[in-house]
């Protein structure tokens, strides 16, 4: 089976070996075709992704040459396949993904599966999300490509952040608030204006008996929001702060008879 990897360094692998494209033109070409997820991409769009405004003379021939070299590298990974994956017509090119996998697509499907499982099976959701997040080997699509690749990179990163939010929801539902404090702090530091991470950290701190730190976490985010964006925290985050102040029983960790942490 042929596997493509974009959540980190770009790679293609099969049972016959692997290939890492080092030239920026061919990497941009392959990435653009991959993020298009099997759809035809026009020659004009590929030219913009690969060269931007710095078009070489004879750009059409240059594109064909890069496509030809990329096709040979991909074909070498599947010598038993009778049809090339990289096909073209007068209007553009298409990378056929039948029987192949793209790590970003597998990741997105895992997140959807976990989202459906969170309410009834947080253990399954937690395990699914941790396995999915291990697919990330580094930043995606950071150094090549144009508008299409940048849009895909933003989409992939948003999927990763949502996966983390779901993971923390699952861990909190399992009563693992103390164990994820470090991960939550790291998520908040990396996404300092993301209110959901802040809310989850506040809850985890409160359930760990650290009410003062939970409230300080809220105050720090409120300060950043007002200073950098000129806005107040969301109603949901403000309700969480008020619930912590009054030791709302709804904030108690899961489990029958679980006590609410109290800090005098």
Q: Quote the CA–CA distance of 231 and 253 in Å, as a whole number.
A: 31
Q: What is the mean pLDDT of the chain?
A: 91
Q: Quote the CA–CA distance of 185 and 188 in Å, as a whole number.
A: 5
**Residues 226-239: b if buried by 16+ CB within 10 A, e if exposed:** eeeeeeebeeebee
**Residues 78-107: b if buried by 16+ CB within 10 A, e if exposed:** beeeeeebbebeeebbbbebeebebbbbeb
Phi, psi values for residue 88, rounded to 5° = -145, 165
Judged by average pLDDT, the poorest of 51-55, 182-186, 237-241, 245-249 is 51-55
* Tokens matching residue 19: 């290939």
Residue 142 pLDDT exceeds 60:
yes
Nearest CA-CA partner of 33 in 156, 148, 184, 175: 148
pLDDT confidence of residue 264: 26
Q: Compute CA distances 231 → 13, 126, 200, 222, 223, whole Å.
A: 47, 33, 20, 8, 9
pLDDT confidence of residue 258: 41
Helix, strand, or coil here: 97?
Answer: coil
Report CA 127 to chain centroid distance, whole Å: 17
Helix, strand, or coil here: 93?
Answer: strand
Residue 156 pLDDT exceeds 50:
yes
Q: Quote the CA–CA distance of 216 and 214 in Å, as a whole number.
A: 5
Rg, C-alpha atoms of the chain: 23
pLDDT confidence of residue 65: 93
Q: For the segment 86-126, what is each residue's pLDDT rounded down to a tens digit? A: 999 888 999 999 989 999 999 999 999 999 998 889 999 99
DSSP class of residue 228? I
Q: For the segment 166-190, what is each residue's pLDDT rounded down to a tens digit? A: 999 999 999 999 999 999 999 999 9
pTM surpassing 0.85?
A: yes
Angle in degrees, 0-180, between the axes of helices 147-173 and 181-190, rounded to the nearest 10 = 150
């Amino acid at each position: 089976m042929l596997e493509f990897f974009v959540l980190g360094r770009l790679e293609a692998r099969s049972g016959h070996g692997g290939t890492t494209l080092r030239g920026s033109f061919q990497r941009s070409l392959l990435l653009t075709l991959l993020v298009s997820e099997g759809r035809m991409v026009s020659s004009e769009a590929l030219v913009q992704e690969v060269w931007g405004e710095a078009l070489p003379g004879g750009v059409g021939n240059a594109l064909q040459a890069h496509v030809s070299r990329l096709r040979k590298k991909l074909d070498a990974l599947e010598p038993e396949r009778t049809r090339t994956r990289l096909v073209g017509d007068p209007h553009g090119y298409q990378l056929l993904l039948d029987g192949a996998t793209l790590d970003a697509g597998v990741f997105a499907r895992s997140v959807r599966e976990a989202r459906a499982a969170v309410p009834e099976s947080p253990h399954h959701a937690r395990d699914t999300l941790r396995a999915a997040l291990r697919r990330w080997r580094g930043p995606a699509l950071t150094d090549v490509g144009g508008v299409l690749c940048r849009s895909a990179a933003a989409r992939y990163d948003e999927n990763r952040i949502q996966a983390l939010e779901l993971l923390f929801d699952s861990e909190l539902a399992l009563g693992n608030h103390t164990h994820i404090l470090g991960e939550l702090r790291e998520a908040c530091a990396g996404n300092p204006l993301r209110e959901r991470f802040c809310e989850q950290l506040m809850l985890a701190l409160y359930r760990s008996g650290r009410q003062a730190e939970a409230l300080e976490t809220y105050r720090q985010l409120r300060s950043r929001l007002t200073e950098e964006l000129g806005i107040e925290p969301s109603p949901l985050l403000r309700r969480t702060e008020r619930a912590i102040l009054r030791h709302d029983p709804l904030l108690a960790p899961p489990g029958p008879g679980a006590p609410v942490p109290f800090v005098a």
